Structure 1
Amino acid sequence: MATILAFAGSNSSTSINFKLVKYTSGLIQQNEVKVMDLSSFPVPMYSADTEKNNGYPEDVVALQKDIKNADGLIISVNEHNSGPSAYFKNLMDWLSRVDKRFLEDKKIFLMSTSPGRRGAISSLTYVKDTLPRFGGEIMTTFSLPSFNDNFDPEKGILDGELKAGHQVALADFLKTL
């Protein structure tokens, strides 16, 4: 049985990407899944001065250990102005300072969603190109467009084609663990 760490790249208490992460994690039966809600995960803005004066934030060090102990990751990234949120970028900056290869040998199912028709695809593309620099291996991706039209908290993904695509992407990811 594999251990999977799942989280959204958002610190919003109403994150639709976190809703997608919870939904996806709930579909996994044969593996242990730890879902982390980063909305209550404080991370100071990275600066060399902060690192020099205060060291690494304890929460970031703990997250790095959780990542290291996981066999795979499910991450859903939000999008601000055609890129990942400043929160997610800042988190990656801190994690890479703790250990440049903090994603070494990690299999990743990368997702994104947004209220818009593009489903945060620009952010997903940016993150897909960036995470391998830290040692991660993107096994599969999925983007859910028009979240408010295509997702229901009780039923999950409503559109049949999108739901099937999500199921295939998840199954392909799980096969790699």
Structure 2
Amino acid sequence: MSTLTLVGISGSLREDSVNTKLMREAARLFGSADFIEADIEFPLYNGDVEASEGVPAKVQAASDLIGRADAVIISTPEYNKGPSGVLKNALDWISRTEGNPWLDKPVAVMSAAAGRAGGERAQMILRGFMVPFRPRILQGPEIHLAGAAGQFDETGTLTGEIYVKELTALMTQLRAMTGQ
């Protein structure tokens, strides 16, 4: 049995991002795997730039990483009732690379936000954004981490029992989708 490769994408670039913490906790609960965080700090998508300069190397690297992964975790914040512009921009850029790295890829999506809905709207919109790429997105359990700043201890470990239980179930299903 070979070691699985799990790629994580956080829709937040903030240093102390609750979405990055949630993504890392998901990876921990996924279990044994080579976990790699994709860097999605890309320039804004511009078709003229793509035409004159091509796909930036950083974008191609992220696309290749997704293509080689056995599974992907995406955690999105909710900004103004939707996913972050950073995440949407990354999806747009990656869609411009050769092939489709998302095709049939097992993907788990989750969200963390300050509000009581935990980013539910952003997550639903993100799921819609993913449709053209045709990944295999897990339908549940849905993880909407509400009041996210207070859900982690000082080491970044998720503390809410119900959230840990649900995230563990989601990661168990994601692992099963990889065939291991």
Residues 155-164 or 47-56, more deviating: 155-164
State the partner residue of 1:151: 152
Structure 1 segment 104-115 matched on structure 2, within 5 A: 104-115=103-114
Task: Tell me which amino acid in the other structure corresponds to 1:71.
Answer: D
Letter of the 2:52 counterpart: N
Is the 2:10–2:23 Cα contact (8 Å) retained in structure 1? yes
Provide runs of 4+ in structure 1 moved above 6 Å: none
Of stretches 144-153 and 77-86 in structure 1, the one that deviates more from structure 2 is 144-153
Counterparts in 2 of 1:153 and 1:22: CA distance versus 1, 3 Å: farther
2:30 matched to which residue of 1?
Answer: 28
Alpha-carbon separation, structure 1, partners of 2:60 and 2:156: 36
Instruction: List per-residue Cα deviations over 1:101-144 (Å, max 9, x = no partner).
Output: 33112100111101111111111001112213112111244221
Aligned equivalents of 1:64 and 1:155: distance in 2? 28
Q: How many residues align?
A: 174
Q: Scaled by the length of structure 1, what TM-score is found?
A: 0.90
Contact residue 8 and residue 74 of structure 2 kept, 8 A: yes
Return closer, same or farther for 1:130/1:42 CA change in 2, 3 Å cut-off. closer
Unaligned runs of 5+ in 1: none
Secondary structure of the corresponding residue to residue 151 of structure 1: coil
2: distance between equivalents of 1:57 and 1:165? Answer: 37
Distance 1:62 1:148, change over 3 A: same
What is the Cα deviation at residue 53 of structure 1? 1.6
| SS of residue matched to 1:21 | helix
* Cα shift readout 1:145-177 (whole Å, capped 9, x = no counterpart): 111232224372222222211111111111111
**Structure 2 matches for 1:85-164, cutoff 5 A?**
85-99=84-98, 101-139=100-138, 140=140, 141-154=142-155, 156-164=157-165
Percent of aligned pairs sharing the same letter: 26
Range 162-171 or range 86-95, more displaced: 162-171
Displacement after TM superposition at 1:18 (Å): 0.5
Q: What is the distance in 1 between the residues matched to 2:135 and 2:154? A: 30
Residue 18 (1) aligns with residue 34 (2): no
In structure 2, stretches of 5+ residues that fail to align are none
Instruction: Name the CA shift for 1:57/1:155 in 2 (closer, same or farther; >3 Å).
Output: closer
Please name the residue that 1:172 is paired with: 173
The separation in 1 between residues aligned to 2:175 and 2:143, in whole angstroms, is 14
Counterparts of 1:47-58 in structure 2, within 5 Å, are: 47-58=46-57
